[in-house]
Amino acid sequence: MDEQDAHKDDDAIINGRQITEEIFERVYRGYFRPLFLYAYGYVMDEMEAENIVQSVFATMWEMRRRLPERLDVKAYLYSCVKHACLRYFRRLHLLDEYKKRQAEALVLSLADEEEDGEDEEMAAAVRKALGELSEQQRRIVELHVQEGKTYAEIAAMLRLSENTVRTHLKRAYKILRDNLSCFFFFLF
C-alpha cells in the first residue's frame, strides 16, 4: 500500500490482530506522509509532528494483538494522531504552568531571603531580574505573586483588562526565566 494505494483504500478495513510486518510496512509507507501533514497542521512544528506520527505507529505495532478485528486503518490512525496532538498541547500547557510557578517561587524566595539574609547572591540575581521588568510588569508581578491578587483584582486596581494583566505576567515570567535560567538551569 504505497501513498497512492493508501488513498485508493481509504476505507480499508483490516484485521487489526493479524497485522504482519509486511502489512504494517505498507500501512506505514502509505499513511506516514499524510499523517505527518495532519499532525503538522495541529502542532506547526516539523520535528514534533514527525515524533507524534512515529509514536502512533510504534504504539500501533506494540498494540496490534489488542486492536479490533475489524479495524478501519485510516480512521484509527487519524484519530490516534489527533489525540496525540491534543496530549502534546496539554503537556505544553502544563509545562507553561510549571514554568510560571517556578518564576513565582523565585520572586517569593527573594522576600524570604531578604528576611533570612541567606544566599545574597541569589537574592541579588532576582532583584536584578526584577529590575529588567517594566514598571507595570513589576507592579503586576508583585500584586499577583507577593500579595496573591487574582487577574481580575489586579485589572480592577490598575484599570486594565484581565487579558492585559495576563500578557504582562506572561512577559514578565519569560524575562525572569531568561535572566535567572543560569542560576536555576535545572528548573527551566
Alpha carbon of 1 to those of 6, 14, 78, 126, 178: distances in Å? 5, 13, 17, 59, 49
Alpha carbon of 28 to those of 58, 140, 154: distances in Å? 10, 51, 52
pLDDT at 73: 93
**Domains 3-93 and 119-180 alike in fold:** no
3-state DSSP assignment of residue 117: coil
pTM value?
Answer: 0.52
**Structure confidence at residue 7 as a pLDDT band (50, 70, 90):** very low
The correct answer on CATH 1.10.1740 for the domain covering 3-93 is yes
Q: With 90 as the cut, is the pLDDT of residue 100 above it? A: no
Q: With 70 as the cut, is the pLDDT of residue 116 above it? A: no
Query: What residues does each domain of the chain span?
Result: 3-93, 119-180
C-alpha cell recorded at residue 85: 496532538
Choice between 80 and 4, residue whose per-residue pLDDT is larger: 80
Contact indicator for 20, 26 with CB cutoff of 8 Å: no
Q: Which of 168, 165, 163, 180 minimizes the C-alpha distance to 127?
A: 180
Q: With 60 as the cut, is the pLDDT of residue 114 above it? A: no
Lowest-confidence region among 38-42, 81-85, 142-146: 142-146
pLDDT tens profile 123-168 = 777 778 888 889 999 899 889 887 888 999 999 999 999 889 989 9
Quick one: average pLDDT of 77-86?
A: 93
Q: With 50 as the cut, is the pLDDT of residue 79 above it? A: yes
Calculate the average pLDDT of the chain: 81
Quick one: fold of 119-180? Arc Repressor Mutant, subunit A (1.10.10)
